[in-house]
Amino acid sequence: MAYDVSKKPGEWVRARSERESVVVLVLFVAAFAALGLATAALVMGEKIAATLLIVASILVMKLFLADQIEVALRWLKGSNAECAVGADLDDLKYEGYVVMHDIEQMGEGNIDHLVSGPTGVFLVETKFGWYQDVALKKVKRQSARVHDELGVWVTPVICRARSEKAPYRHSGVWIVARTDLVGWIRGQRGRRVEFERLAQFADRLQ
């Protein structure tokens, strides 16, 4: 399967966001359906059945719906952030950079963005806000794999969409705000890798 050069940023995370939103909708429908049945049961004088249905509705909303809404919002924010960062990186294409998005990996999720140009090769993981240690390990592991495959240094980067801090390193990973990312990449030094080799690498991951 050849890498799709028309691939837009954030497709994978956007699909996940949509799935989580569907789950929210299903839970809403289930909760309100239970309330509707409870109302019908009260009209018919079935107080015990109505009470059980009301309790079931409350349990759905308390135990499942609130947490699921939080999960769906988190994925939605991540999707919006990844799309925005990807659009920023696409501007580099006009300067001779290769920019690839959503490179799928079996058992590893995906590589958000892979950039190669006159200033080097960069693997960019997007985060809406803060990041956890697991994200540092993931982007370092992914960068090492690209390095081993292509024989060129790959700079691991976590881009924080909602941050104003100056770029800094954390455990070997560069942490860069979205507003600084493109300019920061322009200011680095490294070896580039041509699109054909990057595309072949992406194909081997799938």
Instruction: Write a three-state SS string for 31-60.
Output: HHHHHHHHHHHHHCCCHHHHHHHHHHHHHH
Residue with tokens 């200011």: 187
Structure confidence at residue 185 as a pLDDT band (50, 70, 90)? very high
Query: Using an 8 Å Cβ cutoff, are 173 and 158 in contact?
Result: yes
What pLDDT score does 155 carry? 95
* Top-tier CATH class for 91-205: alpha beta
What pLDDT score does 56 carry? 67
72, 80, 83, 193, 197 from 141: Cα distances, Å: 27, 25, 23, 19, 19
Residue with tokens 């370092």: 140
Indicate the pTM of the whole model. 0.75
Query: Using an 8 Å Cβ cutoff, are 127 and 158 in contact?
Result: yes
Q: Is 158 helix (H, G, I), strand (E, B) or coil?
A: strand
Domain ranges of the chain: 11-83, 91-205
Q: In this predicted model, what pLDDT tens digit does every residue of 20-71 receive, in sequence order? A: 777 767 766 776 666 666 676 666 767 666 666 666 666 666 666 677 777 7
Q: What is the mean pLDDT of the chain?
A: 80
Highest mean pLDDT among 9-13, 54-58, 62-66, 133-137: 133-137
Q: In this predicted model, what pLDDT tens digit does every residue of 43-57 receive, in sequence order? A: 676 766 666 666 666
**Rounded mean pLDDT of 128-148?**
89
For a pLDDT cut of 90, what percent of the chain falls above it?
A: 31
Structure confidence at residue 157 as a pLDDT band (50, 70, 90)? very high
